[in-house]
Amino acid sequence: MKVNKEISCYTCENKCDIYDVLEHNATDLLNVKPVHVTFKKNEIICKQGNNVTHGIYIVSGTAKLLIEGINHRYIILHILKPHNYVGLLSFFESHKYLYSVYALEECKVCMVDIGFIKNLYRENRQFLCKLNEAFGKSVAMIMKKLITLNQKNIRGRFADSLLYLAELNKSKSFNLLLTRKELGEFCAISEENIVRLLSEFKNEKIIDVNKKHINIIDEVLLRKISEVG
Amino acid sequence: MKVNKEISCYTCENKCDIYDVLEHNATDLLNVKPVHVTFKKNEIICKQGNNVTHGIYIVSGTAKLLIEGINHRYIILHILKPHNYVGLLSFFESHKYLYSVYALEECKVCMVDIGFIKNLYRENRQFLCKLNEAFGKSVAMIMKKLITLNQKNIRGRFADSLLYLAELNKSKSFNLLLTRKELGEFCAISEENIVRLLSEFKNEKIIDVNKKHINIIDEVLLRKISEVG
DNA sequence: AATTAACATTGATTTATATCAACTTATTTA
DNA sequence: TAAATAAGTTGATATAAATCAATGTTAATT
């Protein structure tokens, strides 16, 4: 973890919603005082149960957002990429993170004091709406996950995850940053069964797998499986 | 479903957050134009996928909030009682309900135009905070449900639900408004296994069951089961 | 370069839970 | 009040998916 306070929104190459909103207000922009922090692979960006002190915005890299359940078992809810907010969900609720975020590869994030964000939220209607919208989407997504994990069989869940990752990477061919175990935590399947499903889908000519690289060959069929299992 | 528009917040016996917030603003209070609607048992109060047109507040009765999943299978998320809001979660997200609400017994609700609520939300800081807080709690609750349904065995899940219902009714002895099937939809257990669990827990002297009436005898043990399954 | 640790794979076995089937008891509806 | 429908119950059976165990492969560390 490496901290850099010597940055300014004016010269930032990764302008975020906050900048967009403040663009016309020089005084506020001067007060933002953003901090860039670089996390190495596997480092904790935020930890479930800890106080929410900052709004966090992914500048570069990839991270996993997970809830820590019983007996050190996890459910990965999201894979975060640049321009995603971390801590959104927790912002509304009390003051503790409801989940943890870990870097899957080197990650640079921009942190803004939560007090500043709350003020902005209260005073700026545009910001309020943007944040609400993003928040609403997260909730919709969790509810969808609840249905998926509960009512689909492992083939359906697995297909869902592959489609999610393809969309995330904006390509049918992508590099898996997750281990087999983590992929399991993403669709609530045991590590062993993930391995079996990978070769099963490969045999059925639905995907191509080579170590960490996945290529979706038959997207139509994958969508069908996601629906009917 | 029976509608009554002849009501006024001034004389209402079930003053809600909206009233509290508007108390000092006579003009707004005149503009609220609330509508009271009475739903009979099993009637739909709001339907997943429909447009969100009103903020809904439970005045009397009990309702179930559920998400409709695959092949007409449901997951009941909440049991709603007086002073709960319906439609909270959906307010932020797009304009469609993410879930349905059905009356479990005769229910009277108060409906306020969503436009009015959105205005209030934007203009009144106190209301904003109240709504955000309630919203955050819902999210925390759904995430807890996600873990529970995924990582606990049926005994643990069943114990959880009994504890939830006791808390809801503010008593260890309560009348179940849910059928065995619905209780199953609440903890993602088949109807048959719900029946088996009821008699299992009865035999183990953890609860007393008589048709729809449940009495929790050994709360300590029930909490233990909820933790370790 | 050698050793260790993390990650991945495969087959066999177990188990928790759903499903099926048959039946009883309540609650509506005609 | 009978007939029909819904709700509840019980035991037997099936099965999806986890777990266990053994082993191979890759990556990290001394």
How close is the nearest chain A Cα to the Cα of B171, in Å?
27
Question: In chain A, which residues have their Cβ closer than 8 Å to the Cβ of B138?
Answer: 139
Q: A67 near A74, Cβ under 8 Å?
A: yes
Average pLDDT over residues B145-166: 98
What is the per-residue pLDDT for B212?
Answer: 96
Over 60: is that where the pLDDT of B93 sits?
no
Select from A168, A141, A163 the least CA-distant residue to A223: A163
Tokens 């909270």 belong to residue: B88
CA separation, residue A147 to residues A57, A109, B215 (Å): 28, 31, 31
Please work out, in degrees rounded to the nearest 5, the angle formed at the alpha carbon of residue B125 by the alpha carbons of B123 and B130: 120
Select from A113, A87, A100, A126 the least CA-distant residue to A42: A100
Task: Kindly report, residue by residue over B19-60, the tens digit of the pLDDT.
Answer: 888 877 777 777 888 999 999 999 999 999 999 989 999 999
Q: How many Cβ atoms sit within 10 Å of the Cβ of residue B90?
A: 23
Which tokens belong to B40? 């009979």
Interface contact flag, B93 A133, Cβ < 8 Å: yes
Q: Identify, with chain letter, the residue nearest to nucleotide D18 (CA–C1').
A: A190
Interface test with B, best of A68, A71, A92 (most B CBs within 10 A): A92
What is the per-residue pLDDT for B154?
Answer: 98
Q: A9 near A15, Cβ under 8 Å?
A: yes
CA separation, residue B95 to residues B51, B92, B134, B192 (Å): 5, 8, 19, 37
Select from A167, A190, A171 the least CA-distant residue to A79: A167
What is the per-residue pLDDT for A229?
Answer: 77
Of B78-87, B130-139, B151-160, the one with minimum mean pLDDT is B130-139
Q: B115 near B47, Cβ under 8 Å?
A: no
What is the per-residue pLDDT for A221?
Answer: 97
Residues from A in contact with B at Cβ < 8 Å: 67, 69-71, 73, 75, 89, 92-94, 98-99, 122, 125, 128, 132-133, 135-140, 142-143, 145-147, 149-152, 188
H-run or E-run covering B161: helix B154-168
Q: Nearest nucleotide to A211 by CA–C1' distance?
A: C8
Over 80: is that where the pLDDT of B90 sits?
no
Please work out, in degrees rounded to the nearest 5, the angle formed at the alpha carbon of residue B119 by the alpha carbons of B118 and B122: 85
Interface contact flag, A139 B67, Cβ < 8 Å: no
Dihedral pair phi/psi, residue B74, rounded to 5° = -120, 155
Amino acid at A161: S
Dihedral pair phi/psi, residue A61, rounded to 5° = 95, -175
Q: Nearest nucleotide to A192 by CA–C1' distance?
A: C9
Q: How many Cβ atoms sit within 10 Å of the Cβ of residue B84?
A: 18
Task: Kindly report, residue by residue over B156-183, the tens digit of the pLDDT.
Answer: 999 999 999 999 999 999 999 999 999 9
Euclidean distance between CA atoms A190 and A180, whole angstroms:
9
CA atoms within 13 A on the CB side of A34: 25
Please work out, in degrees rounded to the nearest 5, the angle formed at the alpha carbon of residue A143 by the alpha carbons of A134 and B225: 130
Crossing angle for the helix pair B180-187 and B191-203, nearest 10 degrees? 90
> In chain A, which residue's Cα lies nearest the Cα of B226?
A70
User: What is the percent of chain B with per-residue pLDDT over 70, rounded to a whole number?
Assistant: 97
Interface test with A, best of B70, B95, B100, B125 (most A CBs within 10 A): B70
Residue A128 has its nearest CB partner, among B73, B94, B122, at: B122
Which is more confidently placed, B205 or B96? Answer: B205
What is the per-residue pLDDT for B94?
Answer: 63
H-run or E-run covering A2: strand A2-4
Interface contact flag, B142 A147, Cβ < 8 Å: no
Sequential pLDDT tens for chain A (229 residues)? 899 999 888 888 888 878 888 877 777 777 888 999 999 999 999 999 999 989 999 999 999 999 999 999 999 999 999 988 886 665 665 678 999 999 999 999 999 998 888 888 888 878 877 877 777 888 889 999 999 999 999 999 999 999 999 999 999 999 999 999 999 999 999 999 999 999 999 999 999 999 999 999 999 999 999 998 7
Highest mean pLDDT (candidates B5-9, B96-100, B207-211)? B207-211
Strand partners, A80: A63
Select from A177, A185, A182, A162 the least CA-distant residue to A211: A177
Query: Could you say which nucleotides of strand D lie within 7 A of any protein CB atom?
Result: 7-12, 16-21, 26-27
Q: B104 near B62, Cβ under 8 Å?
A: yes
Question: In chain B, which residues have their Cβ closer than 8 Å to the Cβ of A138?
Answer: 139
